[in-house]
Chains A and B, each alone.
Chain A
Amino acid sequence: MAYSDKVLDHYSNPRNVGSMDKNATDVGTGLVGAPECGDVMKLQIKVNPETNVIEDAKFKTFGCGSAIASSSLATEWVKGKTIDEALEIKNTDIVKELALPPVKIHCSVLAEDAIRAAIGDWKKKQGAEVQQPVEAKAGD
């Protein structure tokens, strides 16, 4: 399996690795995937409450090179976008940008899910009643 240069770049120089305080009201956390599947992504966003602009994003991923690259790219893309703009990001955009082969398309889907889960979590904290994308809950 050949990796595209962009995947290799994200793998060697991942952008925005790290964690935010998941209890902060301006932070949204999305945790998607499952260890049994070999893919778990945690994506966090920090949103400016007045402008609804995503000012910062961080990620951590357990998964193959394509999964790491997809989530790294996701954090790059959401930064500077409004919530609504970020919701327009499609997994197919990620596939195109990273030149993912068919067998790795599911990594891009998971990244899109992670964005939505993070946004959903943030919205919940703002009190809005929204349709929750399915996400994991830790330490119950």
Chain B
Amino acid sequence: MSTQVSGNGNHTKSGIKLPIYMDYHATTPVDPRVLEAMLPYFTDKFGNAASRNHAFGWAAEEGVETARAQIAKLIGASPKEIIFTSGATESDNLAIKGVAEMYREKGNHIITAVTEHKAVLDTCKRLEKYGYRVTYLPVMKDGLIDLDDLKRAMDDKTILVTIMAANNEIGVLQPVEEIGKLCRERGVIFHTDAVQAVGKVPFDVNKQNVDIASISGHKIYGPKGVGALYVRRKNPRVQISAQIDGGGHERGMRSGTLNVPGIVGLGAACQICNEDMASDTKRLSELRDRLKDRLFAGLDEVYINGSMEHRLPHNLNISFAYVEGESLLMGINDVAVSSGSACTSATLEPSYVLKALGTGDDLAHSSIRFGLGRFNTQEEVDYVADKLVDVVTRLRELSPLYEMAKEGVDLSKVKWAAEPAGH
């Protein structure tokens, strides 16, 4: 879904550095403060955190335990409840497969939602092959699940509900606290992929009744290749079966020598998010709204995908009718964003998340996802908005659909040609 960006280190007249990055949902740069915290652990404090008998190991262990506490603090957990993984994909796999295996005697039914990340969906698909039953809840037009649907889906064989806190494409926030409450009442374990939420919006595992949560380093200005999994120890105690064996690290839940520099980075990133969240949120939601307002002022037939009310403050997912996404990205080739268009995906399928909202394929093809972040400025937002208005206007001049719509043709009633050969 990523874009072809060109322009190496050029500057615009107003001094904006190109290319501009607005794809913070895909990944984030490592914050300089995080990098500084990590560096000693590559060369000086390079010990194996599991080496219990010498100072090299102790220094590494100290770094790890500090990080554990920093992560726990960000989500309202105890450090003992944090284990480290290679990233959120592994955390999701460990959570879902770990619970499925551990609670097999109790039941074999898992509930998730159609808009989950592939790390969750593909894991569920694999479990279906092993004989588990999975319910994929639909979402409403605004992207939220219907709590009544969830209630109805739960039965006495349900052992796990896994629903993400914030969606990576449309930024929509699910009602985590209510979902957790429902699960608690029914004695069902609740896992949430919290990757896009942690460090961006308040997230508290106790207030929100969360039992297991996945966290990613590279989404919160930490390094790639490291993540964490929160696993509740009290009220109730949750257990998961390890998926990687070999030494019993991380309380037997995840074997393997710890990626100490990465973990230290993850910890530092969480600490910074904790300190900066309120101010970052205010600044970014203002920037996001500025971008949105400028686009709406300059263009007609522009549509927001997903609820604006229950949404990450820095996300904007927007469709520009009658213009295809990849051609749009080509026009703003000095801006890094992504699109829900089929042309931009490796599989030529349009975004399944947008489809789940009931967005027509044509609007899915016309969508752009903006993920603003810590290093974006107002000048960048203005530049991008103005450029996008120009590009959309130009491409609409080229668009037969725009022409037909302006002539009053109801595009939904047109009998389009059958699939041409080669599709």
Contact = CB atoms under 8 A, between A and B. Distances in A.
Contact of B323 (A17, A62, A105, A109): A62
Interface in B346-370: 348, 350, 360-362, 365
Contacts of B413: 139-140
A65 interface: yes
Interface stretch (B49-57, B139-147, B226-234, B393-401): B393-401
Interface stretch (B61-69, B210-218, B403-411): B403-411
A53 interface: no
Contacts of B398: 14, 17, 60-62, 68
Given A32-B417, A35-B401, A61-B398, A11 B423 contact: no
B92 interface: no
A91 B324 CA distance: 22
B interface bracket (residues with beta carbon within 8 Å of A): 35 or more
A110 interface: yes
Contacts, number: 121
B414 interface: yes
B350 A42 contact: no
A113 B325 CA distance: 23
Contact of A64 (B341, B399, B411, B417): B341
Given A31-B400, A42-B400, A11 B360 contact: no
A1 interface: yes
Given A35-B365, A36-B360, A138 B327 contact: no
Contacts of A11: 327, 330-331
Interface residues of A, number: 43
Contacts of B4: 1-3
Given A35-B401, A36-B360, A138 B409 contact: yes
A140 B404 CA distance: 13
A106 interface: yes
Given A2-B4, A38-B350, A106-B423, A134 B403 contact: no
A64 B326 contact: yes
B130 interface: no
A136 interface: yes
A121 to B, nearest CB: 12
Contacts of B421: 109, 113
Contact of A62 (B324, B361, B418): B324
B400 A37 contact: no
Given A60-B398, A62-B400, A106-B422, 11 more contacts: A1-B4, A3-B4, A8-B330, A35-B361, A40-B416, A62-B398, A64-B330, A91-B422, A136-B416, A138-B414, A140-B415
